[in-house]
Amino acid sequence: MKHNLPHGNNYGSINTNMIGFNAAVVTNHWMASSIGRDILMKGGNAFDAACAISFMLGVVEPQMSGIGGDGFIMMYDSKKDKVNVINATGPAPEFSYKVGDKIPIKGISSASVPGLVSGVLKMHKLKGSLSLQECLAPAIDAASNGVALSQDQSTSLKSDSKAENFQSSLKIWGDKKKGLKNFGDRVINKDLAETLKLISIEGEDVFYRGKIADKIVKISNENDGLFSINDFNKFESEIQDPISTSYRGYDVYEAPPNSSGITLLQQLNIIENFSQKDLSPFSKSAMHLMVEAKRLAFYDRERYLADPKFFDVPVDLMLDKNYAKELSNKININGPRISNKELEINYKPDRVGDTTYFCVVDKDGNSVSQLQSIQTQWGSGMVIDGTGILMNNRMSYWHLDKNHINYLIPGKRVRHTMNPVMVFKSNGSENKLCLVNGTPGADTQVQTNMQVLSSIIDHNFLVGEAVSMPRWTHYQNLTESTIPHSTSEFISLESRFGDEIVKNIEKMGHKINIVGPWEGSGSEGMISISESGLIGAAVDPRRDGQALVW
């Protein structure tokens, strides 16, 4: 497909393919990217920068993440040549058995235990080099003095936040007379600034075993919420080993369950059984094969993927290459698609998410790949008065059917769609980090990651080209994470694919829905490192992100 974008050699990139030799930062907001660069410039490492970025995003991109939410942090320590994951996802609250037969989408009862603060501070304590006060100072300053509301934030504030229902939220993002704020308005959150100051001085304890925990639980009790003080006092993020698979000579690392990272790895194992020519970008065979791989992997996700503390997730089986070969044999490269009957979900539904991603590589080769989220845009919509903390609505990921593996149990961690990625390439006697990437987008994440990884590994795309290429997303009934878990089944295609591929995919039995040329799901961020040490950085043009490399 001939491209008409201003940069690149393959499909092309809407942005300059930015390169450098020192370090790179990619986030979903330009101010957060700048802060990450500043931290590195003053001598901090990737882990310091990630700490600063994480807290900053909660101020400048509050609709996606913040300290009222959770996340997964993948860390590569170049000196130790070691990858670890911090699971910063909180469990269902102690009193969540009270939800009955319906989980609210908004309000304090939609919130699970926020784990992000524990995870980020654990990373900083283990691997940071600057003080916590230095890392949090930019976020404190931004919250205190205010930031401008972006156009995307203004639109989603009015459509998704429900902030007008909560006085504590309205005093930050609007008022009773004028309504919700508009594009370019200043947003000041002095309560959040004070909360961040406390965290910078007292650390994790003040959030989980001090004043902040007490305030959250008090307001939860006053509003029929589900939290107990034990939910906070007993919580601690968890350091885990990553899971991985090989794909055409590359080692792809992911977060383990309760992350859906295993679903991405399973998809890669399936498509590896087809030729690189069959996976040529923008071809009918590539889309068909990837969609079918996604459907097969999501079928297994519904059967097997839950909190491993409550269920023995068969990781070895799901990542077995022979098993992937068996699954690939179900796919007819020329169509028709696998019948729904063959992939029928064996449970009845009990009755629709958003995130942010960023990555950092420093001058020493240390790297962080991090996803953090408050679930749907603007989370619960409710700010904890006196703290400035916008709470998540992660409870909406649970199933209420006892037959489902992701059934709600107090103390259990819900299955997450977040999946940070790192890719390594063998270079003689050692593996070298060559790619760091990820994206928000709930159940679309592993689909977007599969598309960009194939474009880079199979077809030598630059990262700028990978994030700019036309995107598809498959929606599969009864596999949606957010309640009510059901949806129409179709492939969403950006219009840049063109009429011919639409007709060919429809002939294979897939239903198509065309969206605007840049309205596909996700917001992929990527940093590449070549064998010569050249660093490339790219951010998805579909959102407010910024990539910096020098």
Residue 63 tokens read as 């609709």
- At residue 349 the predicted structure's pLDDT band, cuts being 50, 70 and 90, is very low
pLDDT at 351 over 60: no
Q: Are 530 and 456 in contact (CB under 8 A)?
A: no
Which of the residue ranges 177-181, 425-429, 538-542 has the most confident prediction, judged by mean pLDDT? 538-542
List of residues 6+ apart from 354 with CB closer than 8 A: 63, 64, 373, 374, 375, 376, 377, 440, 441, 442
Half-sphere CA count of 323, side-chain side, radius 13 A: 14
Q: Can you say whether the dihedral through the CA atoms of 338, 339, 345, 346 is positive or negative?
A: negative
Q: Are 331 and 339 in contact (CB under 8 A)?
A: no
Say which DSSP state 7 is in: B
Look up residue 301 and give its amino acid.
R
Mean pLDDT (the chain, rounded): 93
Other Cβ atoms less than 10 A from the Cβ of 151: the count is: 12
Look up residue 195 and give its amino acid.
T
Q: What percent of the chain has pLDDT over 70?
A: 97
Given 27, 195, 355, 482, the catalytic residue: 355
SS3 of residue 41 by DSSP: helix
Other Cβ atoms less than 10 A from the Cβ of 184: the count is: 10
Nearest Cα to Cα of residue 485 among 370, 545, 403, 374: 403
Query: Is 355 in the active site?
Result: yes
Q: How large is the average pLDDT for residues 404-418?
A: 96
Question: What's the CA gap between 467 and 110, in Å, rounded?
Answer: 33
pLDDT of 431 reads 86
Question: What's the CA gap between 321 and 308, in Å, rounded?
Answer: 22
Q: Are strands 512-515 and 490-494 parallel, antiparallel or unpaired?
A: parallel
pLDDT at 347 over 60: no
Q: Are 240 and 84 in contact (CB under 8 A)?
A: yes
List of residues 6+ apart from 192 with CB closer than 8 A: 58, 59, 143, 387, 388, 389
Say which DSSP state 407 is in: B
Q: How large is the average pLDDT for residues 134-161?
A: 95
Q: How large is the average pLDDT for residues 138-163?
A: 94
| Region of poorest pLDDT, from 228-237, 249-258, 481-490 | 481-490
- At residue 228 the predicted structure's pLDDT band, cuts being 50, 70 and 90, is very high
Strand segments, DSSP code E, in 248-338 are 250-254
pLDDT of 220 reads 97
Q: Are 404 and 111 in contact (CB under 8 A)?
A: no
Crossing angle of helices 499-507 and 284-304, rounded to 10° = 50
Question: What's the CA gap between 29 and 365, in Å, rounded?
Answer: 23
| Region of poorest pLDDT, from 115-129, 348-362, 453-467 | 348-362
Nearest Cα to Cα of residue 470 among 501, 439, 429: 501
pLDDT of 3 reads 55
Q: What percent of the chain has pLDDT over 90?
A: 86
pLDDT of 346 reads 66
Q: How large is the average pLDDT for residues 505-531?
A: 94
Which of the residue ranges 151-155, 160-164, 391-395 has the most confident prediction, judged by mean pLDDT? 391-395
Question: What's the CA gap between 263 and 415, in Å, rounded?
Answer: 12
Residue 173 has phi, psi (to 5 degrees) of: -110, 20
Q: How large is the average pLDDT for residues 73-97?
A: 97
pLDDT of 487 reads 87
Q: How large is the average pLDDT for residues 346-352?
A: 45
pLDDT of 350 reads 38
pLDDT of 387 reads 98
Other Cβ atoms less than 10 A from the Cβ of 511: the count is: 12
Residue 534 tokens read as 């050249």
Question: What's the CA gap between 274 and 327, in Å, rounded?
Answer: 12
Question: What's the CA gap between 367 and 196, in Å, rounded?
Answer: 25
Residue 498 has phi, psi (to 5 degrees) of: 90, 165
pLDDT of 6 reads 67
List of residues 6+ apart from 51 with CB closer than 8 A: 120, 121, 123, 124, 128, 132, 135, 136
Say which DSSP state 69 is in: S
Q: Are 83 and 420 in contact (CB under 8 A)?
A: no
Nearest Cα to Cα of residue 215 among 374, 386, 68, 65: 386
pLDDT of 1 reads 47
pLDDT at 348 over 60: no
| Region of poorest pLDDT, from 72-76, 159-163, 322-326 | 159-163
- At residue 430 the predicted structure's pLDDT band, cuts being 50, 70 and 90, is confident
Question: What's the CA gap between 456 and 451, in Å, rounded?
Answer: 9
Helix (H) or strand (E) holding 455: helix 445-457
pLDDT at 62 over 70: yes
pLDDT of 12 reads 72
- Find how far residue 37's CA is from the centre of its chain: 21
Query: Could you tell me which residues are beta bridge partners of residue 13?
Result: 7
- At residue 398 the predicted structure's pLDDT band, cuts being 50, 70 and 90, is very high
Q: How large is the average pLDDT for residues 509-530?
A: 94
Query: Could you tell me which residues are beta bridge partners of residue 195?
Result: none
Domains of the chain listed by start with CATH number: 20-239+358-397 (no CATH), 242-352+418-549 (1.10.246.130)
Q: What is the pTM of this model?
A: 0.95
pLDDT of 486 reads 87
Question: What's the CA gap between 42 and 490, in Å, rounded?
Answer: 49
Nearest Cα to Cα of residue 296 among 517, 446, 115: 446
Q: Are strands 174-175 and 179-180 parallel, antiparallel or unpaired?
A: antiparallel
| Region of poorest pLDDT, from 134-148, 294-308, 345-359, 364-378 | 345-359
Task: Tell me the DSSP string of 135-187.
Answer: HHHHHHHHHHH-EEPPHHHHHHHHHH--GGG-HHHHHHHEETTTEE--TT-EE
